């Protein structure tokens, strides 16, 4: 019990020290207009460098990433079927897939999958 508490205390101390160190190092200098403007060979920029970003594209990309990772997680589980009990394996896979389907249903209900509105 004491070892667990000491380990947690050391981990918290190290993480707080790293957060403080990173915040001290990352202090940015005074932001001025010249540093924030894009550089185009010494000329004034012709258009804004800040292009609008499609949040729909971002959400679809995140959704794709989630299902891509799902495949990477399910493939090793299929290999472990040899060493585990079938009922435990089926329960684990079904719970994993059900959670992902519920998440997909939630995204669908919120209208994330509708590209044009």
pTM (2 decimals)?
0.45
Query: How many structural domains is the chain composed of?
Result: 1
| Residue-number span of the structural domain to which 86 is assigned | 74-110
- pLDDT tens digits, one per residue of 58-89: 878 888 888 788 878 777 877 777 777 778 88
Does residue 116 fall inside a structural domain?
no
What is the 3-state secondary structure of the chain?
A: CHHHHHHHHHHHHHHHHHHHHHHHHCCCCCCCHHHHCCCECCECCCCCCCCCCCHHHHHHHHHHHHHHHHHHHHHHHHHHHHCCCHHHHHHHHHHHHHHHHHHHHHHHHCCCCCCCC
Does residue 27 fall inside a structural domain?
no
- Can you give the pLDDT at residue 56? 76
């Amino acid at each position: 019990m004491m070892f667990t508490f000491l380990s947690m205390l050391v981990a918290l101390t190290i993480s707080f020290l790293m957060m403080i160190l990173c915040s001290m190092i990352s202090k940015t200098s005074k932001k001025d207009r010249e540093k924030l403007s894009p550089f185009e060979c010494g000329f004034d920029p012709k258009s804004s460098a800040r292009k609008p970003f499609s949040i729909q594209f971002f959400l679809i990309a995140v959704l794709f990433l989630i299902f891509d990772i799902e495949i990477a997680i399910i493939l090793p589980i299929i290999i472990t079927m040899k060493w585990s009990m079938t009922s435990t394996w089926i329960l684990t896979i079904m719970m994993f897939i059900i959670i992902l389907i519920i998440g997909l249903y939630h995204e669908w209900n919120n209208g994330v999958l509708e590209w044009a509105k």
